[in-house]
Amino acid sequence: MKFYIETFGCTFNQADSQIMVGLLEEQGIKSVKSIEQADIIILNTCYVKLPTEQKIINHIQKVQDIYPHKKLVVAGCMVDIDPVKLERLAPKAGWIGSRRIKSIPEVVKAIMRDDIKRKTGQDNEIKTCLPKRRSNPLVHIMQICEGCLGKCSYCCTRFARGKLQSYPLNFLKSEAEQAVADSCMEIQLTAQDTAAYGKDSGDNLSDIINQTTSIPGNFKVRVGMMHPRNVADDIESIINSFKNEKVYKFLHLPLQSGNNQVLSDMNRGHSVEEYLEIINYFKSELPHLSISTDIIVGYPTEDEAAFQDSLDAINAIRPDFLHISKYYHRPGTLASKMDENDHQVIKNRSKRLNDLKNKIASSNNKKLIGTSQRILITDKGSKGGYIGRTDSYKTVIVDEASLGNFFDVEITHSKSTYLKGTIL
């Protein structure tokens, strides 16, 4: 029995897929790289945005049309967020909800017997220390918790991921130790909100960072997205943990809007001023920190003045990385009951923000030309060369290098999204 798996969406979803592959291979079910070779197709879905939903729906339909005799399992967020649509789309598919992935061998074996099994809904499965086939043997994705404490009015992901469940510290340290023993050079701590870690168990994010960096070895740790409200509760400890030389000086802190009324309508739980205070504190303690943030353009209550506030906020933050999302209604959310902004207006605003994003990122990166940076090489470039990351997690491309090693480089060229360097 052979399977092919395809993954859409976030780092957390990628880790889910790696676990599913590990669990299936443990049962003697072989993973193949070509869909043509497979007996069963597994699609691990994302549902965060409408364009993503449309892409997923089209792909599920296309797979069934082209490979009608292959078995299909649909996993991920779509399963729990939009089961009615999925039932219409793929009535003969097996399902695996986001929090039921340990059931993948059972579902796969059943569907090969033409017995459709569907494992959905919330569960308290712990995803640490499970078999995992890493897509990049040098990079280990470590899920530290699942679910969140938020009730953002635009978000449907929380309907799939559910309430917060933090994984035990000792399990997480064991997983990290195994990753280092397996020669992983980068450990990515991931969650829907890494700063929420331990709010249900009495631990905190800095505990995880400190335990991971205490493991002997030469490797780097990347900390994933944090909600500003939860960072503020433990900011000094988090900053102190970031000062460890093994931690990338990289902060992903979504703002979502630069207007306080829109933030309130979004039910974000923080103001622009509180956000800037967090950013400024981090920068004062970590001068070479790179900032990543997110903005939703065209939320139903965003008018032109509110959008201008977002532009002003981005000018103040000057992020190195900016993720821009056009607003679309999502199933079951409070915001979906409101009237949408005109889509042409949203498109125009998105372009203006994207232009500002590129201008700021280009300016930030240009300042690094001529500097010496220490980078970790973890990938080969699709068009040649090797891809490394600086201490602040900026991408550097070099012509020649060896995977899994650190190099000192001189930055020779810059673009808005990457740097080029020469090994010293």
Q: Any idea where the domains of the chain sit in the sequence?
A: 2-119, 139-366, 372-423
Residue whose entry in the numeric block shows the structure tokens 């353009």: 297
Local structure of 412: helix, strand or coil? strand
Looking at residue 103, what is its pLDDT? 94
- Contact between 16 and 43 (Cβ < 8 Å): no
Alpha carbons 245 and 230: distance in angstroms, whole number: 24
Q: What is the pLDDT of residue 317?
A: 97
**Which pLDDT score is estimated for 358?**
98
330 close to 357: Cβ distance less than 8 angstroms: no
User: For position 233, what pLDDT does the model report?
Assistant: 84
Query: What is the number of alpha carbons within 13 Å of residue 219 lying toward its C-beta?
Result: 25
pLDDT at site 90: 95
In this structure, are residues 411 and 371 in contact, taking their beta carbons and an 8 Å threshold?
A: yes
In CATH terms, is domain 2-119 a member of 3.40.50.410? no
149 is written with which tokens? 């404490």
Q: At what angle do helices 235-242 and 205-213 cross, to 10 degrees?
A: 20
Question: How many angstroms separate the CA atoms of 93 and 42, rounded?
Answer: 10
- Confidence at residue 121, expressed as pLDDT on a 0 to 100 scale: 87
Name the 3-class secondary structure at 345.
helix
Q: How far apart are CA 291 and CA 317, in angstroms?
A: 8
Polymer length in residues for the chain = 424
With H, G, I as helix, E, B as strand and everything else as coil, classify residue 260: helix
Q: Is 89 helix (H, G, I), strand (E, B) or coil?
A: helix
- Residues in the chain predicted with pLDDT less than 70, given as ranges, are none
- Structure confidence at residue 332 (pLDDT): 94
How far is Cα 280 from Cα 260, in angstroms, rounded to an integer?
Answer: 18
Going by C-beta distance under 8 Å and a sequence separation of 6 or more, which residues neighbour residue 180?
187, 215, 216, 217, 219
Kind of pairing between the strands at 71-76 and 94-96: parallel
CATH of domain 372-423: 2.40.50.140
State the CATH architecture for 139-366. Alpha-Beta Horseshoe (3.80)
Paired tokens of 92 = 């003969």
